[in-house]
Structure 1
Amino acid sequence: MGTKTRLAIVAALVATVTVLVFGLWWPEPVGKPRETDGGPGDSLPLTPPAATRFLNTQAQYVGSQACRECHQDETDSFAHSGMSRSMRTVDLDAEPPDASFPHTASERLLRSTRRDGKLWHREEITGDSQPWVVGEHEIKYIVGSGVHFTMYLCEIDGFLVESPLTWYVAKPEWAMSPGYDSPHHLGFQREATAGCLFCHAGRATAIDNSYHRIRVDELAIGCERCHGPGSLHIARHSGGTSADGTDEDGTGFDRTIVNPARLDRDRAEAVCHQCHLQSRAYVDPRGRSLADYRPGQAIEDFQHYYRSTDPRQQMKVVGHSEQLMLSRCYKASNSLTCITCHNPHATPAVADRPAHYRQLCQNCHGADDASRCTADENKRQQTRPADNCITCHMPTIPTKTLHTAVTHHRIGLHDDNAPGTVRRQSGRPDGDSLEPLHDLSGYHQLDRQRSLGLATLKRVFQLGIGSGPRSQQLWDRSESLLLQVHKDGLSDPDVEATLAQLLFATNPNQAVRHAEAALKNPTIKVESRLNALYALASHHHSRRRPEKSLEYLDQLIRIRRSALDWEMRGLCQLQQRKLPAAIQSLETAVTIDPELLPAHDLLARLYDDLGKKTESARHRRRIRRLQAIFRSRRR
């Protein structure tokens, strides 16, 4: 197998983003040193999470409706927040009007239409006398509060995927979904995984350890996301048999539920940082994932976040937390945090927001305070709305992907000529080198090196594989870090599967050994499983061992919907001379990815051999259309 082929396979491997649900653990008494505890299949003991006084690591989720029985006022007030509308099913009466959106760059026509009491999204390839409908699917879920945009999810063959069409409220208009406004986009191929839905759904679970067969247990973000699972709390207050939940000192403090307002700043922010900390890269520590986090715990025990060593970063839509942490206001205060300004139980009306937020600023910057605003009164009255602190100190700036403006959360004196650019920034050099956002000194050196190696590879995927010298340098850096980790004795399935990915083009035999080792570990996470399975399927296919390759491909098609899996499956079946099965697999591949030109060509030739001229002509017509589109994109 040639180097170019191996590189193409490497590009097909998904980036390792670990999503394993780890078992529950008992909380340690506050102040007890962290000790190591062995984990199954790991060569180095796991570092346990920091102590918590709460019992919610032992509790079960009960759903927001169970909370409403005793907390109706709080439930009603939360219903006015955007989080309560983060995900929902389709209500045709509330949906934007039916419309078509022509996307010139990809020569596609997208449509949103109501039919038979359902909402449908459709994608056509244009430019021919006969419309080529490449996908039409019923919408199952709607994501987004509707403040900025709403995105749409559909279920295809049991797999949850994103629609390429999004409704942008600010315009208002239909347009391409974020990341889709390019000549070559994913259409109905972008997977909606449990990890993707973590910050949109109340609770979403992968079915049978699949990648994007999803069961949604609670639609929108609910009470338990911020207060923790409620079964012990309900049992305690309904006369059940649970532990009484009193604190160790007998004060009656209720350890069965969390109020973020009563946590110290780091632990209070962690509740928000589950979804609103968008760092340069983030990875799971060994043995845990963000899904295991419970309010009141330290977020860095469930996700390792990395930032650039250069603080001059462009605005990120969900990067508000990092921006706030760079603010002088934040650094000079022990109490300023997200919920200082954003109370999910008290959302101000639109007309009241300027006065509401101005008062919050003046709580620290009052008239008698040495740090009060020094701007001229007349200038302050010229802001829109008048005397609005946010206009000057937290300006709105446009985003390229969301077709709207968002508030910059680095509080400061912003450059009038480039809103969002704060004056007097540090002069540290540009670059893609990463450093941890939190203190990870409690972790073994090999664990820290492992996380940095995985995060560095994620940065490569952000830049694009083969996009330039910097991408290659980071790829080599990730490989070097993880090889050293493995040599020094840390061998977990994420490291093994990622090394299979990194080494596939240059040392395929070693890559295969790493992939096989990853699959033997019972704690393997779904993304690592995908990487290992695809590497092994590709390896055996290239060695003309179709039976062995199909063993891995049959596992892959059960856990994800991928055209490349089905295409390789068809090629293996051809090697076995199973022509009908091969044609069916290849047809499935081009249904998933209509631009898979080699599969169209192979199908046309197979149908010719079978004398099926109509089917052959259909694929040859599509080949000609795709070739014209590809030529147009190169101009």
Structure 2
Amino acid sequence: MGFLLLLFADATHSELPRITVGPVGGYVEDSVCRDCHASHYDSYQHVGMAQSFKSPVNARRIENFGEVFYHKPSNRYYQMLLEGDDMTFRRFQKDENGNEINTIEIPVDWVLGSGNRTRSYLYHTEHGEVFMLPIGWYTEGQFWAMSPGFESPDHSGVSREVTRECMFCHNAFPEIENDAFGVADRFPAKLPEGTGCQRCHGPGGEHVTQAMTGKGLEDIRGAIVNPRKLTGARRDSVCMQCHLLPAISLVSPVRFGRGEFSYRPGELLSDFLYLLDVEEGNIEEPERFEINHHGYRLMKSDCYNEGGITCIDCHNPHVKPESGAFREKVAGVCMDCHQDITHQTEVAPSECVTCHMPTRRTTDVVHVTMTDHWIARGPFESEKLTAPLEPSNRPITDIRPLKFAGQQQDQDTQTYEAIAAIRAGRSVAVGVQSLLQALSKQEYEHYTPYLDLTRGWLKLGNYAQAEAFARGLVRGDPNLAVAHYILGIAELANGKITQAKLSFRRALAIEPDPEVHFALASLYFDSGSLALAEVELDKALEIRPLMANAYRMKGRISAKLGNATKAADHFKRSLEIEPNDLATYSELVVVLRKNDQPDEAARYLNHQKQIPNP
């Protein structure tokens, strides 16, 4: 280190690496860390976290490319193709004669997941929206299957948007302009590739600057976080920022006023999130085991609560664990407290994990098994714990604060519990009433809970209340685009056409959004202003090229203008994106008949009959 300090003492300011700015400011490229920490950096590149997010060209090749997977519930066929470094997602159906219909191909821009257990795939639009594709690769079984949440017949297809909340745990923080709640999720074309050094050590810009300008060792070390020097919940929060998810069905909300990428190592996780736990129906707590339950289950262990064991007692984050050696290391940690334990039968010294941290099948990602970090006495039936499961959607029966990092019941509990329920789409009516009650007792300066309440009214179809609360939001923060959009939707539903048009225009002046352009197009279409409607649809498709309802409306416009050929092209494109839209088939059949294509019309009509009514 001393040699490097002498070397960097001569560095000029112009040679300093670029440091990010904005809400995700203070970071450098993770590769800069290698200049001083080559051994740690190089070793870490083999760890799953470093492989968590990659471009196709940099992702390890582990899949069976070209293999066709058929998903019977949605009657769709899937392929992932590889040509050189280009990865392409392909989906199609088959008509009654076995010929392809509704075929779509989408270039894959990002590979999500290390592939140690599973992988998913994303595409990234020019305007910064990122979407998840519906199939995943499951490494244990070496097969393709639907990614979690896509198992049902009416899944979201190629239209499930990736949010900042999703990106938080799957990658290093990207440099974005705004990470405030309610702001549209937009990501730069260049994203970090993998969860890097600074997610655990904090922003490295100041640390690197101190080193490269010859500052003293104390100043250099003081400008970065060493998690091993943290204690208690602050130390554990570094790991728990990504490995503490009590239930995928309900995510702990970011505290009001905090940016969604604003957590920094060294702070308590409870200062960033309002930590919530849940109970779910139809399952007992020991069996409720999910893919991201490492920290959650560890916190239920006596070894954690009474013995003081921590994540990094067993795990070296910089080194990929090799099974045999790793189990011996873990057994050594166990023996620090349990050296006097006598087993009834002879047990190998490295087998603590096998019996006391068994492998279980996860209930949310049913094609995956993981190590259960709830350290328990046992014995366990291995075959039962890893037996096949079917995807299930369990009801949430209770929400409560999660006791970690000082989180406890307080005056904000009802508010955060209610907004979490509304966001999860679970018991929205109950959540709205609970939030309304909470806000009558506790006022907040930040708009977040009022935006959640307004969205709740909108979900319930109570447009009068939605309009009233949205109007309050735009008065409080005129630059909140989503509030103007919700106000426009409510005004439109309440018959206030002119006001709705103005609200949509105000939203678009703040932030381009395909949903707002589509809402404005719908307004123009209904009033007969077809040319203006098409302008808005084209703007929507420029931002979001795979927007099925926009193509459908373009088809309807072309049909009204007497251009059956163009209408058919638009309807077909809409069905390629969303092949379960019964109404689009009906409209397509009409224009095909008008275009003197009876066989093609019959083909789509017969295919429509295969689709179950929603």
Are positions 1:609 and 2:560 aligned together?
A: yes
Given that 1:285 and 1:447 are in contact with CA atoms closer than 8 Å, whether structure 2 keeps it comes out as no
C-alpha distance in 2, partners of 1:240/1:100?
A: 58
Are positions 1:98 and 2:66 aligned together?
A: yes
C-alpha distance in 2, partners of 1:277/1:457?
A: 21
Q: Give 3-state SS (helix, strand or coil) of 1:363's partner.
A: helix
Q: Give, in angstroms, the shift of residue 266 of structure 1.
A: 0.9
Counterpart for residue 81 of structure 1: 47
Matched residue type, 1:109? Y
Matched residue type, 1:61? Y
Counterpart for residue 6 of structure 2: none
Counterpart for residue 500 of structure 1: 454
Q: Give, in angstroms, the shift of residue 398 of structure 1.
A: 1.6
Change (3 A) 1:557 1:173: farther
Out of 262, 266, 269, which is 2:229 matched to? Answer: 262
Counterpart for residue 32 of structure 1: none
Out of 53, 72, 81, which is 1:113 matched to? Answer: 81
Out of 262, 269, 291, which is 1:317 matched to? Answer: 291
Counterpart for residue 255 of structure 2: 285
Per the normalisation by structure 1, the TM-score is 0.74
Q: Give, in angstroms, the shift of residue 321 of structure 1.
A: 0.8
Out of 242, 261, 264, which is 1:275 matched to? Answer: 242
Change (3 A) 1:629 1:326: farther
Q: Give, in angstroms, the shift of residue 631 of structure 1.
A: 6.4
Out of 269, 281, 286, which is 1:299 matched to? Answer: 269
Out of 424, 427, 433, which is 1:479 matched to? Answer: 433
C-alpha distance in 2, partners of 1:503/1:326?
A: 37
C-alpha distance in 1, partners of 2:416/2:80?
A: 42
Counterpart for residue 486 of structure 2: 535
Change (3 A) 1:292 1:520: farther
Out of 316, 326, 330, which is 1:357 matched to? Answer: 330
Counterpart for residue 474 of structure 2: 519
Q: Give 3-state SS (helix, strand or coil) of 2:267's partner.
A: coil
Change (3 A) 1:516 1:149: same
C-alpha distance in 1, partners of 2:223/2:143?
A: 46
Residue deviations 1:406-441 (CA, integer Å, cap 9, x gap): 1111110346348569xxxxxxxx972222114798
Counterpart for residue 9 of structure 2: none
Given that 2:69 and 2:79 are in contact with CA atoms closer than 8 Å, whether structure 1 keeps it comes out as yes
In the TM superposition, what are the counterparts of 1:335-350 in structure 2 within 5 Å?
A: 336-350=309-323
C-alpha distance in 2, partners of 1:315/1:205?
A: 34
Counterpart for residue 600 of structure 2: none
Given that 1:449 and 1:485 are in contact with CA atoms closer than 8 Å, whether structure 2 keeps it comes out as no
Counterpart for residue 153 of structure 2: 183
C-alpha distance in 2, partners of 1:448/1:204?
A: 31
Counterpart for residue 367 of structure 2: 403
In the TM superposition, what are the counterparts of 1:106-505 in structure 2 within 5 Å?
A: 106-115=74-83, 118-127=86-95, 131-133=100-102, 135-158=104-127, 159-206=129-176, 211-215=184-188, 216-239=190-213, 254-280=221-247, 281-308=251-278, 312=285, 314-334=288-308, 336-366=309-339, 369=340, 372=341, 374-377=343-346, 380=347, 388-399=351-362, 401=365, 403-414=367-378, 416-417=380-381, 432-438=397-403, 446-459=411-424, 461=425, 463=426, 471=427, 475-486=429-440, 488-504=442-458, 505=460
Q: Give 3-state SS (helix, strand or coil) of 1:152's partner.
A: strand
C-alpha distance in 2, partners of 1:358/1:73?
A: 26
More contact order relative to length (CA 8 Å, sep ≥ 6): 1
Q: Give, in angstroms, the shift of residue 570 of structure 1.
A: 2.8
Given that 1:161 and 1:192 are in contact with CA atoms closer than 8 Å, whether structure 2 keeps it comes out as yes
Counterpart for residue 633 of structure 1: 612
Residue deviations 1:261-311 (CA, integer Å, cap 9, x gap): 121121111000110010243012121145222111111001011113688
Given that 2:334 and 2:352 are in contact with CA atoms closer than 8 Å, whether structure 1 keeps it comes out as yes
Q: Give, in angstroms, the shift of residue 121 of structure 1.
A: 0.9
Identity %: 25
C-alpha distance in 1, partners of 2:67/2:510?
A: 35
C-alpha distance in 2, partners of 1:516/1:417?
A: 58
Residue deviations 1:182-236 (CA, integer Å, cap 9, x gap): 1011111111223211112212244566533202452211111111112222233
Counterpart for residue 576 of structure 2: none
Q: Give 3-state SS (helix, strand or coil) of 2:174's partner.
A: strand
Q: Give, in angstroms, the shift of residue 337 of structure 1.
A: 0.9
Change (3 A) 1:199 1:120: same
Change (3 A) 1:545 1:228: same
Q: How many residues align?
A: 534
Q: Give 3-state SS (helix, strand or coil) of 1:98's partner.
A: coil
C-alpha distance in 2, partners of 1:433/1:61?
A: 39
Q: Give, in angstroms, the shift of residue 455 of structure 1.
A: 2.4
Q: Which runs of 5+ in 2 are unaligned?
A: 1-22, 387-394, 572-582, 590-603
Matched residue type, 1:332? E
C-alpha distance in 1, partners of 2:95/2:177?
A: 40
Moved more, 279-288 or 573-582: 573-582
Change (3 A) 1:58 1:118: closer
Given that 2:268 and 2:405 are in contact with CA atoms closer than 8 Å, whether structure 1 keeps it comes out as no
Counterpart for residue 579 of structure 1: 530
Q: Give 3-state SS (helix, strand or coil) of 1:171's partner.
A: coil
Alpha-carbon RMSD across the aligned residues, in angstroms, is 3.7
Q: Which runs of 5+ in 1 are unaligned?
A: 1-56, 247-251, 422-429, 464-470
C-alpha distance in 2, partners of 1:295/1:479?
A: 36
Q: Give 3-state SS (helix, strand or coil) of 1:120's partner.
A: strand
Matched residue type, 1:510? Q
